[in-house]
């Protein structure tokens, strides 16, 4: 069975924010909100410093806490469509419990509509055979999206070649974003 | 570190009112089942307050939603793993139950007043008759009843039994709703400040203590008993609150100590109240004003230290204790709701 994941190489990230722009344009994300974020940390001791940028977004967890706490079934995992964590905005009543339950703070609240929203792995583009907008636009190819159960995909090849880590595994979420660490 | 909080004052007030409703009905049920004349004021007041607080709290909860008009979706779906889903069903059950329970304790003069509006007049007048309590004093003002088989002698037998059964059920239902307000926060691992069962225990005992404070203040408005009655009732509320407030204090201590023995995420989260932005409110507002000072005052009164004080002074102390408990209970929820949202899994 297909198992979709994103493999990220943070060392390649230039913090150009093209992924945020592409995502915002593609998904009509409200001003001031983002579906993908860029966490910046400094390494070293002054004045010998370097910057590291860590791209982040929804990890599309297998055991998603947001889905567990949702009282109306609005947050769900689309088991037939690739196992992504999705939001049925018809069913969302805007209680924001999912936002508190997400250890990655990957969700945002759309005040205007009164519902919570987040990354969908550009589900609508995948259906047309396209890659997620952030993946397509990234100039340094930080993000690679694909089926890691299929050994021929680029994502699976990267997973074979490199050591990767998942974020906050201790939270018991079973995330599907893999960060290259070597 | 501090960012915009998704849950604000409406959730804080809801958790507080939910706790007050739960505590009130629990104390009322206990008061009723003991069948002692001096508990009847507690039974009535608690029963009348419970649906009001639960109603106001639930209203706030709905109003806080992004799409309040869609709140019915909570009831077309059950997710047993979601505390909010189960809690919504609990709240509905509690609202219906507590309304019926309140009717069995509705003061006869209120029932007669409502009967004037020509709506269910017959039923209300009957209720007024059935809810007429046994008079505790004879004509010269001496107390004639102590332990009573039936505090409401005009009630038909089935109605008395119904009232007893409802009072009995009020106790577990009160515990369930009181605990639920804490589980709502405690059941999400992403916020280490909340993620311990102790939050549920703490909220339950804080709710019981706050409800006792509320009854201290409000019972005299709902029940006119003899002076002896009032003294006994005050004494029992005092004893009850001493227990609640002690348990509350001895949940807060292990809550903090255990956190220091836990993972780094929890240790960091606990800095919110150990040097972080909520330190002053927590230690001065919640612990000192809401727990320690009332505890000392109640202890002093319990051992008779205030007996020689003039009436006005002891009344002043009673009101002060009750207000401090109520303020402390609110601040506890304020600190927890906000501090928790500032913490995250490392």
ipTM associated with this complex: 0.90
Of B106, B321, B315, whose CA–CA distance to B230 is shortest? B315
When pLDDT is averaged across residues B49-63 and rounded to a whole number, the result is: 96
pLDDT at B311: 85
Give the minimum alpha-carbon distance from A131 to chain B in angstroms, rounded to a whole number.
Answer: 30
Contact B66 A115 (CB under 8 A): yes
Instruction: Find the radius of gyration of the CA atoms of chain B.
Output: 21
Cα separation, B121 vs B119, whole angstroms? 5
Give the list of residues 6+ apart from residue B165 with CB closer than 8 angstroms, or none. none
Q: How far apart are CA B29 and CA B94, in angstroms?
A: 14
State the Cα–Cα distance between residues B26 and B275, nearest whole angstrom.
36
The whole-number average pLDDT for the span A91-112 is 95
Mean pLDDT of A27-42: 93
**How many percent of chain B have pLDDT more than 90?**
72
Name the minimum distance, in Å, from the CA of B79 to any CA of chain A: 6
Res B238: pLDDT: 94
- Whether residue A56 is predicted with pLDDT greater than 90 in this model: the reply is yes
Among chain B residues, CA nearest to A91: B73
Q: Which residues in chain B touch residue A170, judged by CB atoms under 8 angstroms apart?
A: 263, 345
Overall average pLDDT of the B65-91 stretch: 94
Name the one residue in this structure whose structure tokens are 């932005």: B277
Chain A positions in Cβ-Cβ contact with residue B341 (cut-off 8 Å): 100
- The mean pLDDT of A76-90, rounded to a whole number, is 92
Contacts (Cβ under 8 Å, ≥6 apart) of A34: A20, A23, A24, A108
**In the Cβ-directed half-sphere of A152, how many Cα atoms lie within 13 Å?**
0
**Exposed, middle or buried, B285 (CB in 10 Å: 0-12/13-18/19+)?**
buried
Q: Per the CB < 8 Å rule, is B82 touching A92?
A: no
Select the residue of B67, B76, B187 nearest A94 (Cβ to Cβ).
Answer: B67
Within 13 Å of residue A166, how many CA atoms lie on the same side as its CB? 19
**pLDDT in the model for residue B314:** 87
Q: Which residues of B touch A37 (CB under 8 A)?
A: none
The answer to whether A91 contacts B190, with C-beta atoms less than 8 Å apart, is no
Task: Tell me the nearest-neighbour CA distance from A139 into chain B, angstroms.
Answer: 30
Contact A65 B67 (CB under 8 A): no
Task: List all residues 6 or more positions away from B83 whose beta carbon is below 8 Å from its beta carbon.
Answer: A69, B180, B183, B184, B187
* Percent of the residues in chain B that have a pLDDT greater than 70, as a whole number: 95
Using the beta-carbon criterion (under 8 Å), do B66 and A111 form an inter-chain contact?
yes
- pLDDT confidence bin for B136, thresholds 50/70/90: low
| Residue B24 or B149, more confident | B24
Rounded mean pLDDT, A44-59: 93
pLDDT at A139 over 80: yes
For each of the domains in chain A, give its residue range(s) and CATH number, in order of start. Answer: 4-180 (3.30.70.20)
How far is C-alpha B237 from the chain's CA centre? 13
| pLDDT at position B145 over 70 | no
- Chain A residues 73-112 with CB within 8 Å of chain B: 73-74, 91-97, 99-103, 105, 109-111
Q: How many whole angstroms separate alpha carbon B176 and alpha carbon A11?
A: 51
pLDDT band at residue A176 under the 50/70/90 scheme: very high
Q: Average pLDDT, whole number, for chain A?
A: 94
pLDDT at B144 over 80: no
Interface test with A, best of B2, B82, B184 (most A CBs within 10 A): B82
pTM over 0.90: yes
pLDDT at residue number B307: 83
What pLDDT does B1 receive?
42
User: Where does the pLDDT of residue A48 fall: very low under 50, low under 70, confident under 90, or very high at 90 and above?
Assistant: very high
Both tokens of residue B285? Answer: 């507002």
CA distance B202 to chain A (A): 20
B148-186: pLDDT as tens digits? 666 788 888 899 899 999 999 999 999 999 999 999 999
Q: What angle do CA A73, A79, A85 make, to 5 degrees?
A: 55
What size, in residues, is chain B? Answer: 346
CB within 8 Å: B341 and A100:
yes
Cβ separation of B88 and A172 shorter than 8 Å? no
In this prediction, residue B141 carries a pLDDT of: 56
Distance, in Å, from the CA atom of B239 to the CA atom of A146, rounded to the nearest integer, reads 65
Q: Taking residues B113-132, what's their average pLDDT?
A: 87
Longest dimension (CA), chain B: 71
Name the E strands within A32-128. Answer: 37-45, 48-56, 75-78, 84-87, 108-110, 115-117
Distance CA B300, CA B322 (A): 15
Mean pLDDT of chain B: 91
- For A163-174, what is each residue's pLDDT tens digit? 999 999 988 999
Confidence of residue B142 (pLDDT cuts 50, 70, 90): low
Domain ranges of chain B: 9-341
Residue A15's pLDDT is 92
In CATH, the number for domain B9-341 is 1.20.1630.10
Answer whether A181 touches B (CB < 8 Å).
no
Q: Is B259 helix (H, G, I), strand (E, B) or coil?
A: helix
- B238: nearest Cα among B226, B250, B246, B249: B246
* Lowest mean pLDDT across B52-66, B212-226, B270-284: B212-226
Instruction: Return the structure tokens found at B336.
Output: 């927890």
Give pLDDT tens digits for B266-292: 999 999 999 999 999 999 999 999 999
pLDDT for A88: 96
Q: Are B179 and B203 in contact (CB under 8 A)?
A: yes
**Residue B284 token pair:** 């001065």
How far apart CA B202 and CA B340 sit, in angstroms, is: 15
* Beta carbons within 10 angstroms of residue B294's beta carbon: 24
Q: Where are the beta strands (DSSP E) in B83-176?
A: none
Determine the distance in angstroms separating the CA of A63 from the nearest CA of chain B, rounded to an integer. Answer: 12
Q: Is pLDDT at A118 greater than 90 in this prediction? A: yes
Q: B77 CA to chain A: closest CA distance, Å?
A: 6
Q: Is residue A72 less than 8 Å (CB to CB) from chain B?
A: yes
């Amino acid at each position: 069975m297909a198992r979709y994941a994103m493999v990220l190489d943070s060392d390649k990230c230039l913090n150009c924010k093209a992924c945020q722009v592409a995502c915002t344009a593609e998904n009509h994300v409200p001003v001031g909100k983002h579906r993908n974020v860029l966490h910046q940390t400094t390494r070293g001791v002054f004045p010998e410093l370097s910057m590291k940028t860590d791209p982040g977004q929804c990890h599309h967890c297998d055991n998603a806490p947001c889905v567990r706490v949702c009282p109306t079934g609005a947050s769900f995992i689309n088991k037939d469509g690739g196992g992504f964590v999705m939001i049925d905005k018809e069913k969302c009543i805007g209680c924001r419990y999912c936002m508190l339950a997400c250890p990655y703070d990957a969700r945002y609240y759309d005040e205007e509509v009164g519902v919570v929203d987040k990354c969908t792995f550009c589900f609508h583009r995948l259906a047309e055979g396209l890659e997620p907008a952030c993946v397509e636009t990234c100039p340094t190819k930080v993000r690679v999206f694909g089926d890691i159960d299929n050994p021929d995909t680029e994502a699976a090849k990267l997973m074979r070649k490199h050591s990767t880590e998942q974020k906050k595994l201790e939270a018991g979420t079973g995330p599907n974003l893999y960060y290259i660490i070597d | 570190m501090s960012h915009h909080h998704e849950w604000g004052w409406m959730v804080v007030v809801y958790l507080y009112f939910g706790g007050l409703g739960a505590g009130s009905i629990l104390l009322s049920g206990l008061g009723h089942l003991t069948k002692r004349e001096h508990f009847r004021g507690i039974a009535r007041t608690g029963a009348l307050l419970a649906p009001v607080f639960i109603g106001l709290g639930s209203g706030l909860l709905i109003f806080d939603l992004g799409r309040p008009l869609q709140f019915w979706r909570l009831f077309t779906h059950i997710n047993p793993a979601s505390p909010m889903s189960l809690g919504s069903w609990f709240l509905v059950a509690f609202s219906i139950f507590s309304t019926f329970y309140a009717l069995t304790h509705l003061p006869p003069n209120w029932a007669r007043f409502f009967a004037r509006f020509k709506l269910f007049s017959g039923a209300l007048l009957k209720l007024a008759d059935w809810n007429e309590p046994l008079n505790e004093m004879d004509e010269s003002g001496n107390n004639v009843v102590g332990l009573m088989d039936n505090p409401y002698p005009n009630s038909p037998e089935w109605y008395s039994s119904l009232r007893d059964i409802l009072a009995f059920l009020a106790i577990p239902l009160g515990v369930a709703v009181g605990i639920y307000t804490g589980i709502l926060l405690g059941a999400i691992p992403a916020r280490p400040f909340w993620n311990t069962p102790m939050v549920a225990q703490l909220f339950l005992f804080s709710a019981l203590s706050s409800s006792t404070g509320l009854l201290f203040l409000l019972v005299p408005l709902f029940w006119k008993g003899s002076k002896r009655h009032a003294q006994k009732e005050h004494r029992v509320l005092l004893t009850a609150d001493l227990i609640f407030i002690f348990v509350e204090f001895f949940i807060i201590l292990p809550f903090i100590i255990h956190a220091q023995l836990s993972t780094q995420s929890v240790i960091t989260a606990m800095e919110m109240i150990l040097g972080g932005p909520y330190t002053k409110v927590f230690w001065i507002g919640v612990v000192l004003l809401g727990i320690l000072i009332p505890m000392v005052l109640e202890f002093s009164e319990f051992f008779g230290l205030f007996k020689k004080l003039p009436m006005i002074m002891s009344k002043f102390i009673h009101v002060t204790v009750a207000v401090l408990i109520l303020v402390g209970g609110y601040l506890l929820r304020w600190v927890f709701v906000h501090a928790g949202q500032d913490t995250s899994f490392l």
